[in-house]
Amino acid sequence: MDRLDNTIRPYAWGSTTAIPKLLGIEPSGEPQAEMWMGAHMGAPSRTARGTLVEVIEASPERELGEKAVAKFGPRLPFLLKILAAGAPLSLQVHPNLEQAKEGYADEERRGIPVDAPHRNYKDANHKPELICALTEFDGLCGFRDPLQAADLLAGLGVDSLKPYVDLLHAHPEEAALREVLTAILTADPEEMRRTVTAAATACTRLGGDYAPYADIAHHYPGDPGVIAAMLLNYVRLQPGEALFLGAGIPHAYLNGLGVEIMANSDNVLRCGLTPKHVDVPELLRIVRFEASDPGVLRPEASPDGEEVYETPIDEFRLSRYVLPEGTGAHDLTLDTPQILLCTAGAVKAGEFELEPGQSVFVPAGDTAEVSGVGTVFRATVIV
């Protein structure tokens, strides 16, 4: 078992206070958006034996287990994060595995550098993800019913939105959503800026269901993603609730602190709320144009106290243990690799004392006992 020393990423949308509060340290005044736990090349966790990338490369089957290596190759298939949103993240979608492989191969053939700002596919992997709220957590997830989206837009009383309202009423679901998103993202930039400004003013005046979009527009004035965001379901998670984001589902995190786990990939196609590249044709190829319920997940408890967030993904499995006072040690030993993360209280994992925000890597097959009073998240894989 290895204690992890993890990197905090200072993205501009990050909260300046949420991660320091969790860690019990003074804020620096700078945004602290994500703490990464895993073996991602961009910011691998550090151990006493070297970076987690180096540790795994030195002996993949010893660290990951034979079954995980046979199924996923000689790398840790997931990346675990603490995510602290102080402002909305970009509106985005992720490709499925086949789309990622095709897109990556195509951009490699065309010689587009991996770090080029217009590159869509950084790797050949998909990026399903799960976010579990540690505080109240606001987000957007999946398309609304087109008629509900039409009513929301119409309620703003902005004349330049009327063509979108008419499209949402006039077509079958898939065509309506596709045509409206296309129209929003390909509109004349100056005309769209005026529309977004008028819509933002109306959202601020109306409040209520419009309040989240007023806040989005405050952070991204004039961005077409403000209008695109109104096509999506707004959801507020309570602590312990989660969202699963599969391929092709448009989404954005707006505010709050959570534990996030994802397949180990950087593939993101953006729809708005960003100064970064938006590849509209490729985006439209990836997006699933279907209305859906956000599908809030609540953990399913097992007799041994493990609470599991069920998803259809094998690259990661997230669960938690809420350890009350007076309980004994829990044996978490598995034949797959694990990362254990404390988010509340004080717990002991093997020889290590963990406080909120601290984590350990457990190689496959190593004994893993946890005890104490607090909350421990467990990340592993399904083989």
Active site amino acids: 270
Phi, psi of 295 (to 5 degrees): 65, 60
* 50: enclosing H helix or E strand: strand 50-51
Q: How far is Cα 121 from Cα 317, in angstroms, rounded to an integer?
A: 24
CA distance 113 to 135: 39
Whether the CB-CB separation of 136 and 174 falls below 8 Å is answered with no
Cα(203)–Cα(226) distance, rounded to whole angstroms? 11
Amino acid letter for position 132: C
Strand partners, 274: none
Which amino acid is residue 164, in one-letter code? Y
d(CA 378, CA 3): 14
Pairing of β 91-93 and β 46-47: unpaired
Residues in a beta bridge with 232:
143
